[in-house]
Structure 1
Amino acid sequence: MSLINTKILKVKPEAIIFDKNDVLPTITNEETEKNLNIAANELINTNNAIGFPTETVYGLAGSALNDASVKSIYKAKNRPADNPLIVHISSIDQLKRKLYNQEIPKIYQPLIEKFWPGPLTILLPNNPKESPISSYVTANQDTFAVRMPKHPVARALIAISDIPVAAPSANASTKPSPTLAQHVYYDLNGKIPLILDGGACDVGVESTVIDGLSNPPMLLRPGGISLEQIKEVGGEIWKDIIVVKRTAEKSEPVKTPGMKYRHYSPNAKVVLFINCKNGKNAIEEYIKKNQLQNKNIALLKSKYFEDYPGLINKNLGTSGHEISHNLFKYLREVDEELKVDLIMVEGIDETEEGLAIMNRLNKAAMEVIKN
């Protein structure tokens, strides 16, 4: 089978004006408008999936209403078909016209008001027999996951095409999520026709997924909105939210991505260090025990670890925002460009953004060292 010629089309997020309650954007740059229309036409007139930026990570978009389009997503990513996808919308108006002609459950209202558009995904009821949403998006379940992205390129693409898109991260399945267009190109070159390049993603980890249909409500996947923010803004009904921490079994259905299968893993082995002070003794002992003295090793450090001589030392940052913004970028850089044999990563506290960061690191790591 011949490969597709994958094009990278530049777009300027700052040239897109899209206020919270707008249905369509205003675009002030000719090239950006042209390339958005090219991408929108691809969604409207073909069954191909395309790469595009969101505020969390780069996504791989296909029409959530079209089986063939959703199949293109699974094929490009080599993703298991029982792993459901999140639907992305450009407005509440589009949600009600295209997907869900009912009142959104009241439990979500304060959170939507505060965090949409943004990295928050909610679960809504879905009747598989009557729903316009492809069963390949929901894995034939009675709920669907939906969010309104904050990134102006993402919202503009969805609004111009007027197509709610199913959009997992635009990486090969199990690999670290892409935060730059070049990451998407590295994984999916020859598999998709185009990638909209809107620069680096701001948040760096995927959206938070919550289930307000269950009692008590649940946090299914930590992400760009912290657990503390959900509790603060959601009010009394969200105070007892349950955090789902375990990974689902292979035969177990899941309601959202990130609850099943290995994720976020580079080619090089990832070792996660937790509560190891400045890291010196733990790293020294690990290298000696595993006879790694002559290996090419990267160290991704944050708050407490010091530079270790002889390793490729990378600073993830000290704040949760900095670390989440840099995590996937550096995992890919040391793996794909520097071709290291091993990646050591300093763990952080599981508070605020740390819950989402450690969720990703625990899935990426093949070994965890605890002091």
Structure 2
Amino acid sequence: MSTQKLFDTKVLRVKPESIKFSPNAFLDGSLPTILDPNTEVALREAARIIRDTDDTVAFPTETVYGLGGSSLNDDSVLNIYKAKNRPSDNPLISHISSIDQLNRKIYGDTNLHPSELLKHIPKSYHNLINTLWPGPLTILLPVPPHDTNTLSKLTTADQPTFAVRIPSNPVARALIALSDTPIAAPSANASTRPSPTLASHVYHDLQGKIPLILDGGACKVGVESTVVDGLCSPPLLLRPGGFTYEDIRYVGGEFWANCKVESTKSVKADEKVRTPGMKYKHYAPSAKVVLLLPSDDKDKEKKLELFKQLFSKEIHDNPGVQKIAILTTKYLDNIKDSELENYKNCDLIIKTLGHDGEEIQANLFAELRQVDETDKVDLIFVEGIPEEEEGLAVMNRLRKAAANNCIAF
């Protein structure tokens, strides 16, 4: 790879609420109406960068902030990898604004009849996309034939399938629509770090490495999209995310009733993966993370006593620790530092991630970044939650953040 360019990174505030789409825009590609002039100027500048240059732009989605470049342009994709310091065999999701754009820009079909709109999307996905697009759902599709394929091989990691979704965040949708370019966009963080849910997280990691960040406020979902493979039978949930496994089975219909969950714990160095997040270290703070795995025991007093023992052991085994964070969910939510013996002169930060799955999911990355980057703790305890509904995605991220440093609790 060539030397990475240096930028004076601009952060432009945009107003998502000022962007309006027609109900059928995600099908026919109708452009949005943008009521705020400053938002329109910022979006058109970002769209120009995506469409006319090889550079990248960070922008909000409903899941996390993405770092976008043209899915069709090798140099743009290379610049994504450079900015993130991301391994180039890790495939990227292509974000589109409409199914019309998918047909025109990726499959090269420019004059399809409205009845042929879903020509390139297998029937196995129709129930899902009719209900869950636009939204945090990514599907795998076959790469177009060689003579018509426009996707960069760097987007697909030279595989026979590619990942695609239509985001629901109006800033993301408008950017893709105005550029009329499928946008390859992993999370806008330095590789291995917790994903960004605020523009300030992006600036922390990528300042000087990208020209522009669109600041559309906090991301609502807080974890990446759900990735599914409906090209095989039974179908697979490859990555849990913004839609739950239960959502997929319920909405997908009969074909998805026997959906399996990808359970691969490790991937060989030379093995290709079909979706981001399966192969490399992900979501990890600089501080050591200890994940407390929930057990069937619901006795709160027993859990508090067990945590005190675990806490004391970690302090004893790590004498250099000076600052500790405890991120709680259910059983530790009322714990006080006075209850924890043997923490010597350590500073303690005790924060709740939330009390239900959606709240915990939305807060997860932001709280990990807060205690790691701002509070600069040395050790983070995180109280896990059951792996059902949103808990499947939450625990998927936390296991990776903890590098499987997990303790039954």
TM tier, smaller: over 0.9
Aligned to 2:357: 320
CA contact (8 A) 2:235 2:256 kept: yes
Q: Report SS of the residue matched to 1:283.
A: helix
Kindly indicate whether residue 218 of structure 2 is the aligned counterpart of residue 200 of structure 1: yes
Deviations 1:306-345 (A, max 9, x none): 3241621111111111001000000000000000001110
Give the superposition deviation at 1:182.
Answer: 0.2
Q: Which residue of 2 aligns with 1:275?
A: 294
1:5-154 aligned at under 5 Å gives the runs 5-22=8-25, 23-100=30-107, 101=109, 102-127=119-144, 129-130=146-147, 131-154=149-172
Q: Give how far 1:283 is off.
A: 3.0
Alpha-carbon distance in 2 for matches of 1:354, 1:18: 32
**Residues 42-66 of structure 1: per-residue CA shift (max 9 Å, x gap):** 1122101110000000000000000
Counterpart residue identity of residue 18, structure 1: F
Cα distance between partner residues in 1 of 2:358 and 2:17: 21
Q: Cα distance, 1:127 vs. partner? A: 4.1
Which of 284, 307, 321 is the equivalent residue of 2:335? 307
Compare 169-178 and 17-26 and name the one that shifted more.
17-26
Q: Does 1:288 align with 2:291?
A: no
- For 2:22 and 2:233, the matched residues in 1 are separated by 34
Shift, 1:284, TM fit: 1.9
Distance in 2 (CA, whole Å) between partners of 1:224 and 1:205 is 6
> Is the CA contact (8 Å cut-off) linking 1:273 and 1:370 kept in structure 2?
yes
Give, in angstroms, the shift of residue 287 of structure 1.
2.9
How many Å separate the matches in 1 of 2:144 and 2:41? 37
Cα distance, 1:20–1:78 mapped onto 2, change above 3 Å: farther
> Which of 168, 172, 191 is 2:209 aligned to?
191
SS at match of 1:149: coil
Distance in 2 between the 1:176 and 1:110 partners?
Answer: 32
Q: Work out which of the two has the higher radius of gyration on C-alpha atoms and give 1 or 2.
A: 2
The superposition leaves residues 101-133 of structure 1 with CA deviations (integer Å, 9 ceiling, x where unpaired) of 443101100100110000000000014733100
Instruction: Report the more deviating stretch, 227-236 or 276-285.
Output: 276-285
Secondary structure of 1:60's aligned partner:
strand
The farther-off stretch of 299-308 and 80-89 is 299-308
Runs of 4+ in 1 over 6 A off after TM superposition: none
* Aligned counterpart, 2:115: none
Q: How many percent of aligned residue pairs carry the same amino acid? A: 59
Residue deviations 1:53-109 (CA, integer Å, cap 9, x gap)? 000000000000000000000000000000000000001110111113443101100
Distance 2:177 2:81 in 1: 23
Distance 2:22 2:209 in 1: 34
CA–CA distance in 1 between the matches of 2:354 and 2:151? 40
SS of the residue 1:311 aligns to:
strand
- Note if 1:330 corresponds to 2:378: no
Match of 2:277 in 1: 258
Matched ranges for 1:157-196 at <5 A:
157-196=175-214
Indicate the RMSD between aligned Cα atoms, in angstroms: 1.5
Q: Equivalents in 2 of 1:109, 1:308: separation in Å?
A: 50
The TM-score, its normalising length taken from structure 1, stands at 0.97
Cα shift readout 1:252-288 (whole Å, capped 9, x = no counterpart): 1011101111100000011000126644223322232
1:160-213 CA distance string (max 9 Å, x none): 010100000000000000000000000000000010000000000000000000
372, 378, 381: which one aligns with 1:344: 381
| Contact 1:316-1:323 within 8 A present in 2 as well | yes
Give the paired residue count: 371
Amino acid at match of 1:303: K
- Residues 252 and 316 of structure 1: CA distance in aligned 2, closer, same or farther (over 3 Å): same
State the secondary structure of the residue aligned to 2:228.
strand
Q: TM-score, normalised by structure 2?
A: 0.88
Equivalent-residue separation in structure 1 for 2:52 and 2:305 (angstroms): 58
Structure 2 Cα separation of the partners of residues 14 and 24 of structure 1: 16
Contact 2:304 2:331 in 1 (8 A): no
Instruction: Indicate the SS of the match to 2:246.
Output: helix
The one-letter code of the counterpart of 2:304 is: K
Q: Distance in 1 between matches of 2:349 and 2:191?
A: 27
How far, CA to CA, are the matches of 1:238 and 1:17 in structure 2? 33
What corresponds to 1:249 in structure 2? 268
CA distance, structure 1, for counterparts of residue 245 and residue 311 of structure 2: 36
Asked whether the 8 Å contact 1:250–1:261 carries over to 2, the reply is: no
Q: Distance in 2 between matches of 1:235 and 1:164?
A: 28
* 8 Å CA contact 1:128, 1:140 repeated in 2: no
Give the C-alpha shift of residue 249 in structure 1.
Answer: 2.1
Letter in 1 for 2:407: I
Q: Structure 1 unaligned runs (5+)?
A: none
**Structure 2 residue aligned with 1:234:** 252
For the 8 Å contact 1:58–1:179, the answer to whether it is kept is yes
Q: SS of the residue aligned with 2:101? A: helix
| Secondary structure in 2 matching 1:73 | helix
